Structure 1
Amino acid sequence: MVRSEEVIDELKRIVKQKGLKYTEQREIVLNILLNANEHLTAEEVYNLIKEKNPESNIGIATVYRALGFLEDVNLITSITFGTDGKKYESNFKDHHDHLICTNCGKIVEFMDDEIEKRQDKIAKKNKFRVTSHSMQLYGICSECQKKQS
């Protein structure tokens, strides 16, 4: 498990390398995602900042800019929900894939060794060296299926 301080140090290194000014706002946004147990929308990140850092004066536009920057430099990742926007998570979790409900937006993380082995076998067969991957399976969760019945 990666420690928050190490990730913040990486953020500082990236900002310096890009010749940008380090901002506490980016650090606060990143810390929210590092400590989240679920995928969060920009609005949820904003609300958590107001709850956990009430002294900070971060507006929703700043949250969106920080999320965009953090995603651009691969410290976080997002899942897009069409017109419903994005949900974000830290890139410092163990590898996992996603089941996504297209009705309510629920996200279930899972890891399956058989799927991982099969992907490696397919890549090898096609003479590919996989450097990263992301799998997202879309469907309807059990709660939404019950509502539709």
Structure 2
Amino acid sequence: MSNRLETLDSILERLRISIKKNGLKNSKQREEIISVLYKNRTHLSPEEIAQEIRIKDKSTSISSVYRILNFLEKEKFITTLETDKSGKRYEIAAKEHHDHIICLECGEIKEFVDTSIEEQQIKIATLNGCKLISHDMRLFVVCSKCQKTTQSHQN
């Protein structure tokens, strides 16, 4: 799991500044979504986020969650991970760089960092006369649990 680069309080303070800069009213829901993503330390779907917020605020609508997620992504507070199988999932952006392994069967997402892969990517970019700015590596797999399930159904 990746290390946090920022505290929740620091992220919320930046959010309040961003809200003012964009001429918006303060919204408890924006802060709640950031808090849910920060505290869960995982990749959540909009539905999972809404479900978590409804524990405190029953009136939370899925459409407002989607609207807020779009704002938070545009302002770079959160990042999106497209997993193909289960749609968009979100995580807090204030984390050290990491890559993802995604099971195509169950949708489980694992984070990993491999320095040799990181070095190889820089080397490949340099050999092609380029400077690597960013990358997003997603390995799509069938995890060991799903392989076992598939094998037991075949027997």
Instruction: Supply the distance in 2 between the matched residues of 1:102 and 1:110 (Cα, whole angstroms).
Output: 17
Task: Specify the alignment match of 1:116 in structure 2.
Answer: 118
Two-structure CA RMSD over aligned residues (Å): 1.6
Task: Specify the alignment match of 1:38 in structure 2.
Answer: 42
Moved over 4 A (4+): none
Task: Specify the alignment match of 1:26 in structure 2.
Answer: 30
Q: Secondary structure at the match of 1:84?
A: coil
> Which stretch shifts more, 104-113 or 42-51?
42-51
Task: Specify the alignment match of 1:128 in structure 2.
Answer: 130
**Mapped contact 2:100–2:110 kept (Cα < 8 A):** yes
Instruction: Supply the distance in 2 between the matched residues of 1:10 and 1:56 (Cα, whole angstroms).
Output: 27
Letter in 2 for 1:98: H
Letter in 2 for 1:50: R
**Mapped contact 2:85–2:107 kept (Cα < 8 A):** no
Q: Report the TM-score when normalising by structure 2.
A: 0.86
**Mapped contact 1:34–1:92 kept (Cα < 8 A):** no
Letter in 2 for 1:8: L
**Mapped contact 1:46–1:59 kept (Cα < 8 A):** yes
Q: Secondary structure at the match of 2:40?
A: coil
The alignment status of 1:91 with 2:90, answered yes or no, reads no
Q: Secondary structure at the match of 2:91?
A: strand
**Mapped contact 2:85–2:104 kept (Cα < 8 A):** no
Task: Specify the alignment match of 1:106 in structure 2.
Answer: 108
Q: Secondary structure at the match of 1:68?
A: helix
Give the counterpart of 1:145 among 135, 139, 147.
Answer: 147
Instruction: Supply the distance in 2 between the matched residues of 1:18 and 1:129 (Cα, whole angstroms).
Output: 33
Structure 2 gaps of 5+ residues are: none
Instruction: Supply the distance in 1 between the matched residues of 2:63 and 2:142 (Cα, whole angstroms).
Output: 32
**Mapped contact 1:77–1:91 kept (Cα < 8 A):** yes
Q: Secondary structure at the match of 2:107?
A: coil
Aligned length: 147
Deviations 1:15-64 (A, max 9, x none): 2222222311111111111111211111111121123xx24632222111
Instruction: Supply the distance in 2 between the matched residues of 1:123 and 1:17 (Cα, whole angstroms).
Output: 37
Q: Report the TM-score when normalising by structure 1.
A: 0.89
Letter in 2 for 1:27: E
Task: Describe the shift of the 1:139–1:19 C-alpha distance in structure 2 as closer, same or farther (beyond 3 A).
Answer: same
Identity among equivalent pairs (%) = 39
Instruction: Supply the distance in 1 between the matched residues of 2:144 and 2:9 (Cα, whole angstroms).
Output: 38
